[in-house]
Amino acid sequence: MPPNGLDYQTLLSVYNDHTNVVNTLWSILQVVSVALLGFVYQQKQLRRNWLALLILSAAFSIFAFGNQAAMSRSQKVLVAVVYQMKNEYLLNTIPEKSGIKSVLRAHEARRVEDMHRDHSVFSVGVVLLIWITFMMGRLKDRKDVDKKE
């Protein structure tokens, strides 16, 4: 057993648990985003109501912030686990015949900052799409008014 009390089974268990958490949180973000955009695009009156869109945008932003915070916690754990997996003492406990050592040495966890950037770009994109519906409605209204004149 390594001096710090960790073994690969424990690390792999923690890694799998937190990978599942991150994947689940990404999936939840995507489902909520698609549902919100579908709802906004479906409701003509909603697309023209700036106050309702503002409230939906704020609510989604709060949700996205919380989702990102939860995802960050698990991503930090993943980064730490991958760092520990590269510990030479631990690597030396794995038989050479397994062939997994080279995989463990090569594996990189996504940096938390990169995950933040991707999450933020995705979330901002959703909010922009919400407001594009408003702008499209306004342009259509102006064209309709111009046609009547």
pLDDT in tens, 6-33: 677 888 899 999 999 999 999 999 999 9
The predicted structure's pLDDT at residue 149 = 62
Q: In this structure, is residue 1 part of a structural domain? A: no
The predicted structure's pLDDT at residue 141 = 72
Q: How far apart are CA 95 and CA 93, in angstroms?
A: 7
Q: In this structure, is residue 30 part of a structural domain? A: yes
Report residues of the chain scoring pLDDT below 50.
1
The predicted structure's pLDDT at residue 1 = 47
Q: Of 77, 116, 84, nearest to 9 (Cα)?
A: 84
Q: In this structure, is residue 91 part of a structural domain? A: yes
Domains in the chain, number: 1
Domain extent, residue 143, equals: 8-148
Q: In this structure, is residue 104 part of a structural domain? A: yes
